Amino acid sequence: MLSGSIPSVPRDLLLLEVIDFTTNNLTGHIPKDMFDHLPNLKGLYWSYNLLSGRIPASLFKCKELQMLSLSYNQMEGSLPIEIGNLSQLQDIYIGRNHFEGNTC
């Protein structure tokens, strides 16, 4: 049961492929530079937390991302159009947040 805010990622984790913090008590915003140095990230699992704020633009630098799971948080704003840059993305779970905008 992790709690508190998400710290910035050290710059020496270039080979990291998966971050799974599902079902914890993480709070606050995702750091803006969180994904600046994670070029090999393939899976991000942060559902069932208390995260708020917007999806940081640095996420769209993760060109290898295949799975994005942010459901059941308190995220807000609109889903950035840059999500289309994630050409390897296969699954996205973002329900049960406070996102706004049109849905298809």
pLDDT at site 56: 95
Q: If you average pLDDT over residues 5-12, what whole number do you get?
A: 88
Domain boundaries, the chain: 3-93
Report residue 31 as tokens.
């750091």
Separation CA 104–CA 39 (nearest Å):
29
pLDDT band at 82 (very low <50, low <70, confident <90, very high): very high
pLDDT tens figures, 9-67? 888 899 999 999 999 999 999 999 999 999 999 999 999 999 999 999 999 999 999 99
Separation CA 94–CA 12 (nearest Å):
28
Q: If you average pLDDT over residues 72-81, what whole number do you get?
A: 94
List the one residue out of 11, 52, 9, 10 whose CA is nearest residue 29: 52
Q: Dihedral angle at the C-alpha atoms of 79, 29, 24, 20, nearest 10 degrees?
A: 60
- Judge whether residue 102 has pLDDT over 90: no
CA 20 to the chain's CA centroid: 10
Predicted TM-score (pTM) of the model is 0.92
Fold classification of 3-93 is 3.80.10
